[in-house]
Structure 1
Amino acid sequence: MIEEKILPPKAEKIAKELEMHGDIRVDNYFWLNDRENPKVIDYLEQENTYNDKMTAHTKQFQENLFEEMKSRIKEDDSSVPYKSNGYWYYVRYEVGQGYPIYVRKKETLEAAEEILFDCNEMAKDHAYFNLSGISVSPNNKLVSFGIDTVSRRKYTIQIKNLETNEVLPTKIESTTGGSTWANDNKTLFYTRKDEETLRSDKIYQHILGQDPAEDKLVYHEKDETFNTFVYKSKSKQYIIIGASSTMSDEYMILDADKPRGEFKMFQERVRGVEYGFSHYKDHFYIITNKDDAHNFKLMKTSLTNTSSNYWEEVIPHREDVLLEDMDIFKNYLVLGERFNGLNRIRIMSWDNQEDYFLPFDNETYTAYTGNNPDFDTDILRYGYNSLTTPSSVIDFNMKTKESEVKKEQEVQDPSFKKENYISERIWATAKDGAKVPISMVYKKGIKRDGSNPVLQYAYGSYGHTTDPSFSSSRLSLLNRGFIFAIAHIRGGEYLGRKWYEDGKMLKKKNTFTDFIACSEYLIAQKYTSAQHLYAMGGSAGGMLMGGIANMAPHLYNGIIAAVPFVDVVTTMLDDSIPLTTGEYDEWGNPNNEEYYHYMKSYSPYDNVKAQDYPNILVTTGLHDSQVQYWEPAKWVAKLRELKTDNCILLLHTNMDAGHGGASGRFEALKEVAEDYSFILDLEGINE
């Protein structure tokens, strides 16, 4: 398949001793973490050249896959309009254009279209472009927005006059991109990031027309394990400042009509107590885990007495139901719950006359409440899709119980029929006896004889749940005989909060062993075999890939690790790196000896050893602010040095992008085509 002459790059070894708790680690590739060093850039470019040569025979196939996936996407598409403060807002795309156009119409959908932002024009001179945080003033005359052209998630906020279409000269740098208007139409609250760590740590108040250098600091979050943010209540009556860590929350509130006033504490932080709230009439409704309610419960309190000793229970804690979110309307309270891994949308009328669930009929779907900015309506907008059903936006009348599908994602492929695909949920048994669910989808007619290629995906950190959802690009794998499987491993919240707690800190290894147990089960049940099993994960899921590569390399023919967090110990000991300090409650703080040794025992980079590894593709971005490029680069260098096999090992660094990869809706598909062609090529499929 590949000529032997192509030799991989060899990174220079410069030993650096890292000592902690009397333990010495030698890092031969520590020198790679200097982005300004020409030798580092040279090494990354050598790896890119090697990757290009090794995949040269798949370049045409990648192009074909890209065109195939792109052809399924409706190019002149638009989102379902939603109404807010007298205007209908929606996003549309034009044929051949990679970026969205944000528009609105006054009062009716028959009115003339006003273009707020044409991102195709705005992105013209940039290799990367992202618009974020669009916020329209209460009088509908101004809009604030954030722009990032580097992909380090540092946004510059600007303001546009919607009457004259001119962008004001004000530029507020190093922000999260989002901002919130007070009700006076001239005061804007926003969040700034620390220049070095990129932690969101300060809230400022900007008054229209003043120099941002004179903006007033209204809140500074000094605890390095917390991030801060600011937003407005759905009722439009409060500006809310939040501070949040993995383990606790704190909020302060201000009357949105009195932006020069002082913020008042809602309930100060208590370690281990998380909460969030919504305003309705003369109460605040609070979702919290207070008093060991690990799956969360609903409470309420008056507008004047907001501290937790005044909170009253509305819906008690339930051992088998995770309460995830709420949406408040004039006549109804809507709750998002999770029961036995599945989403539920619960609708309750304030007058206690009605309490029911929306009906869903399979085990591999995702349902969520959509954009519902309008308070005074009986219409709930929600989204639904499944592994076999494209995304739908549905308007549900909570009073009459009538549904209207406003839009189903169009798959521009005449041969696509959802009934040609089968989805199912199966359960593997983990090392300690826990039952781990797997959601899977494949084309009808597949036989369980061990010969099917399977792509097994997972994330498994931060309590983030990978819900089973539809992907039109995934059809390129399914139509070529692949089974796609999502392992709902511990570290996510698929089976409730305890599922997350059992996959973090000193129980992190459950995440890896759960994934391996799922792989073994898929092989035992003859869905696939080790010769045809592929694993994929990104970011913290990339750490998972590094872990399983060390622990069970014999189970996989190939692994794709995207922006992988693999140098866990060194990163967690460096509190100058973005995100580190906020992560202590996820991984543990290695300044503590017990956590240091536990982390070192699974950290993928620290555990690379002389053994056979599967074929591996690693991707990263030079400007990544979340997992720095040097983690995957060092990992690949160490794998090259120690691995004892002849399998393929590739590192591709996008020299223009960050953590989220390329910008533009089609550019990102090129990265999917690269991933897919890697595993399809290993299967001998190249058309």
Structure 2
Amino acid sequence: MKYYFSTILLLVLTSCTSQKSNSIEYPYLENSNKSVNEHGIEYSSIFSNLEDVEDPKTKKWLSIQDSLVRDYYSSNSIQEYIGSLDYIHKTTNPDYYWLKNSNNAYYYWRDNDSTQVLYKRSRITNELKPIFSANYDYTIHWYKPNKEGTMFILFISDSIGDYLRVIDINNKEILFETAKDMNTQQVSYAVWANEKQFIFTGWPNPDNSKNSYLALADISNGSIKKIMTGDHIPEHNEEHFIRPNISYGSDILQALLISGSESYEGFYTSLKTVANKPTWKQVMYVKDSVLYYPKERNGHMYFLRYKNGQKNLVKTTVNNIKDASKDIVLFKPEGDYIITSYAISNDNAYVITSKYGIEHKLYAIDKENKVKLLELDYPITGLRFYTYDTRLGMATLLQSSWKENYVFIDIDDSLNIKINEEITRKTPSEFRDIITEIVEVRSFDGTIVPMTILKSKDFDRSNPQKAIITAYGSYGISMEPYYSNHVLNFVKEGNIFAIAHARGGSEKGLAWYTDAIKTNKYRSWKDLLACSQFLKDSAYTAPERLGIYFSSAGGITAGMAINENPQMFKAAVGEVPLLNPLRLSYQENYNASDNDYDFGTTSTLEGLKSLLALDPVYNLKPNKKYPNTLIINGELDELIPTYDAAKYIAFLQNHSIKDDRIYLLDIIKDEGHALDTDTTTEKALFFFNNEL
């Protein structure tokens, strides 16, 4: 039987007239509606002409979009809005980034007149000194010190290309350097094996992340040797990448085949053999429910494994990883709590648990497997491990909440807990009267969905103001507390900011995630719609004053919620959103494998049907009133192509009922998927303030 799917035939205009809305004159763009047939299903890919970003017509259209959004910012006085936030910027905060530890010191970078400077703070003498500067000719993207802090791996970009370099900090000597043809998409996959060797992930083509391999770099002689490829792995495809995993000084070298799932294929060999002919043994399969990357300490492997649908921290030997019956369970959460992260230090294991992704607790497990709840200022939110190493006797945690700025907490293996005041950030006093409230919302199928609401202490429901709701609902990632000055400023003015903990995340465990993938993805956006309606019904906001804020894979959750009920929202802002996943696998130099597990793949009939049902661009309908929309994207986004957001905006500008609606595309030049959060949030809140 032949299936036929289409978004409804769109009227292709042949004239070059423009369409006008609210004094904004939108450029006409011809809709090259491409017909695609996969697995006997025919569907239409709208505005397929935008997939060619080098086409002169596409470039011209994008240039006009840039002018439109600049005019909007200027005519609505964005600089005045930014000026009103001076009190935020006057709150002095350290500008340190990339904190890392070694045995007796910690390190961080600061920018000094556009030059990156690496600083070292001694934990013994408290002495602070600069130890390395990057000059104007290159940029540091990532770094990793060895155990003693005497050598650093740097990932560098210069005018020629991208490469790894090893430097001796004491004498500033360059000890090792790769060719300048590295791939920037996974810069952090290099690990120290010992004082003379490190392992890194490489790709044969610097322009894409396909056909990855592992390489052994020997600092003593400058050699690089490939030690593993995917050629002999049955489960491997070119979009998976191979990640090294080894504890400093260990002989146990792991290779993990990374895919869209949170469980991976895993292999092991002895580091002693890799210089000659390594023999890899598979010790872990996806079906074994080992989550992410096992950590090794003294011959034991520590990792999270699902047992009865619940994450447990366990330990075993490398050869017994696939045999769950031989696990030693170190920690099992109780009640509604789940394990969100863990760390292994020289003597202890540490576990962070979370209730609904909101309330956190910290535990320590010693070498005798005794568990202790550590004394923090409970209730505490937004707790995660920032940096740790199995060969160090400490770990650093980052704690934040919806209304408190980042606090860095050091804990050593004697369980001494100390706030690192030097790098902890301050919260403006103006936010002291903001509170959080947790409500439970009944979704369309009776499921109870938690929602966090930020509001002023004296919020008056009899006079509802503006409200913004956000959700993610993808990859099993919980919407855990994060701090934003701009969001809190919005709330301080009497408005509401709400976080819907929709299915597709893992706030309530594994089932909360897997109940909203592929053909069941609709549960994510229906949860979001239920929470949105709750805000209106409970007088947190007026019917016409609700906005929706989303980013990355949250674009599917939000985009489909808008498609299903566009009248629910008055305004929408997306930051680097995924809006056309159906077309991602067709694009050269983009890796779609991360999406296969959650959303589906065009390589199978079932996966294609799933993608057709959840793709926001494909499911747009002409002649509907969509909310005022601003999409902010990075020009060089390595995860989501520029055309993704461009198609969405092109459709709204050309085929919706516009009236006085605003549809804008802001592409940030020379930026990728990780945009500057302060700048994009500033623009988003400015747009919401104008349009709600």
Interval of TM-score (by shorter of Structure 1 and Structure 2): 0.7 to 0.9
Confirm whether residue 174 of structure 1 aligns to residue 189 of structure 2. no
Q: Deviations over 1:402-439 (max 9, x none)?
A: 655645744374x4352x11111111111011111111
Confirm whether residue 202 of structure 1 aligns to residue 213 of structure 2. yes
Could you say which residue in structure 1 is the equivalent of 2:56?
A: 38
Could you say which residue in structure 2 is the equivalent of 1:283?
A: 300
Q: How far off its partner does 1:659 sit?
A: 1.3
- Which shows bigger deviation, 649-658 or 11-20? 11-20
Could you say which residue in structure 1 is the equivalent of 2:691?
A: 682
Could you say which residue in structure 1 is the equivalent of 2:315?
A: 300
- Which shows bigger deviation, 551-560 or 225-234? 225-234
Could you say which residue in structure 2 is the equivalent of 1:126?
A: none
Task: State how far apart, in whole Å, the 2-side matches of 1:409 and 1:473 are.
Answer: 19
Q: Deviations over 1:110-140 (max 9, x none)?
A: 4462423447x456xxxxx6611x1234565
Could you say which residue in structure 1 is the equivalent of 2:629?
A: 616
Equivalent residue for 1:220, pick from 230, 254, 264? 230
**1:30–1:402 distance in 2 versus 1, CA, 3 Å:** closer
Q: Deviations over 1:639-676 (max 9, x none)?
A: 222211321111112232221225xxxxx533322211
Equivalent residue for 1:312, pick from 304, 313, 327? 327
Q: Deviations over 1:141-162 (max 9, x none)?
A: 4322113579xxx953233342
Could you say which residue in structure 2 is the equivalent of 1:382?
A: 397
- Cα RMSD over matched residues? 3.3
The count of corresponding residues between Structure 1 and Structure 2 is 657
**1:268–1:138 distance in 2 versus 1, CA, 3 Å:** same
**1:208–1:496 distance in 2 versus 1, CA, 3 Å:** same
- Which shows bigger deviation, 334-343 or 77-86? 77-86
Confirm whether residue 584 of structure 1 aligns to residue 600 of structure 2. no
Equivalent residue for 1:347, pick from 364, 368, 374? 364
**1:561–1:202 distance in 2 versus 1, CA, 3 Å:** same
Task: State how far apart, in whole Å, the 2-side matches of 1:280 and 1:148 are.
Answer: 34
Q: How far off its partner does 1:86 sit?
A: 4.1
Equivalent residue for 2:33, pick from 6, 12, 15? 15
Equivalent residue for 2:260, pick from 246, 271, 275? 246
> TM-score of the superposition, structure 2-length normalised?
0.85
Task: Answer whether contact 1:235 1:280 (CA < 8 A) is retained.
Answer: no
Could you say which residue in structure 2 is the equivalent of 1:156?
A: 163
Could you say which residue in structure 2 is the equivalent of 1:165?
A: 172
Could you say which residue in structure 1 is the equivalent of 2:11?
A: none
**1:239–1:98 distance in 2 versus 1, CA, 3 Å:** farther
**1:570–1:177 distance in 2 versus 1, CA, 3 Å:** closer
Task: State how far apart, in whole Å, the 2-side matches of 1:259 and 1:108 are.
Answer: 38
Task: State how far apart, in whole Å, the 1-side matches of 2:301 and 2:84 are.
Answer: 49
Confirm whether residue 671 of structure 1 aligns to residue 671 of structure 2. no
Task: State how far apart, in whole Å, the 2-side matches of 1:158 and 1:398 are.
Answer: 32
Give the secondary-structure state (helix, strand or coil) at the position aligned to 1:32: helix
Q: Deviations over 1:481-535 (max 9, x none)?
A: 3211111111111111111111111110111101110000011110002311110
**1:510–1:303 distance in 2 versus 1, CA, 3 Å:** closer
Confirm whether residue 513 of structure 1 aligns to residue 526 of structure 2. yes
**1:312–1:362 distance in 2 versus 1, CA, 3 Å:** closer
| 1:495-514 correspondence runs (5 A) | 495-514=508-527
**1:173–1:310 distance in 2 versus 1, CA, 3 Å:** farther
Give the secondary-structure state (helix, strand or coil) at the position aligned to 1:18: strand
Equivalent residue for 1:323, pick from 339, 351, 356? 339
Task: Answer whether contact 1:21 1:593 (CA < 8 A) is retained.
Answer: yes
Equivalent residue for 1:131, pick from 131, 141, 154? 141
Q: How far off its partner does 1:348 sit?
A: 2.4
Could you say which residue in structure 1 is the equivalent of 2:132?
A: 116
Confirm whether residue 534 of structure 1 aligns to residue 547 of structure 2. yes
Q: Give the residue type in structure 2 aligned to 1:18.
A: V
Task: Answer whether contact 1:16 1:28 (CA < 8 A) is retained.
Answer: yes
Q: Is there any run of 5+ residues in structure 2 with no aligned partner, and where?
A: 1-19
Confirm whether residue 486 of structure 1 aligns to residue 504 of structure 2. no
| 1:642-681 correspondence runs (5 A) | 642-646=655-659, 647-662=661-676, 668-681=677-690
> TM-score of the superposition, structure 1-length normalised?
0.86
Q: Deviations over 1:60-107 (max 9, x none)?
A: 43662596376145355447976413443233455xx57753222567
Give the secondary-structure state (helix, strand or coil) at the position aligned to 1:613: coil
Task: Answer whether contact 2:193 2:249 (CA < 8 A) is retained.
Answer: no
- Which shows bigger deviation, 292-301 or 537-546? 292-301
Could you say which residue in structure 1 is the equivalent of 2:16?
A: none
Task: State how far apart, in whole Å, the 2-side matches of 1:497 and 1:170 are.
Answer: 41
Could you say which residue in structure 1 is the equivalent of 2:194?
A: 183
Q: Give the residue type in structure 1 aligned to 2:26.
A: P
Give the secondary-structure state (helix, strand or coil) at the position aligned to 2:32: coil
Could you say which residue in structure 2 is the equivalent of 1:559?
A: 572
Confirm whether residue 52 of structure 1 aligns to residue 70 of structure 2. yes
Identity %: 18
**1:590–1:372 distance in 2 versus 1, CA, 3 Å:** closer
Q: Give the residue type in structure 2 aligned to 1:394.
A: I
Task: State how far apart, in whole Å, the 1-side matches of 2:637 and 2:109 are.
Answer: 27
Q: Is there any run of 5+ residues in structure 1 with no aligned partner, and where?
A: 124-128, 663-667
Confirm whether residue 103 of structure 1 aligns to residue 127 of structure 2. no
Q: How far off its partner does 1:448 sit?
A: 0.9
Q: How far off its partner does 1:603 sit?
A: 1.5
Task: State how far apart, in whole Å, the 2-side matches of 1:77 and 1:569 are.
Answer: 40
Could you say which residue in structure 1 is the equivalent of 2:5?
A: none
| 1:440-479 correspondence runs (5 A) | 440-449=453-462, 451-479=464-492
Task: State how far apart, in whole Å, the 1-side matches of 2:91 and 2:444 are.
Answer: 42
Task: State how far apart, in whole Å, the 2-side matches of 1:193 and 1:486 are.
Answer: 42
Task: Answer whether contact 1:77 1:92 (CA < 8 A) is retained.
Answer: yes
Task: State how far apart, in whole Å, the 2-side matches of 1:15 and 1:216 are.
Answer: 45
Q: Give the residue type in structure 2 aligned to 1:85.
A: N
Give the secondary-structure state (helix, strand or coil) at the position aligned to 1:371: strand
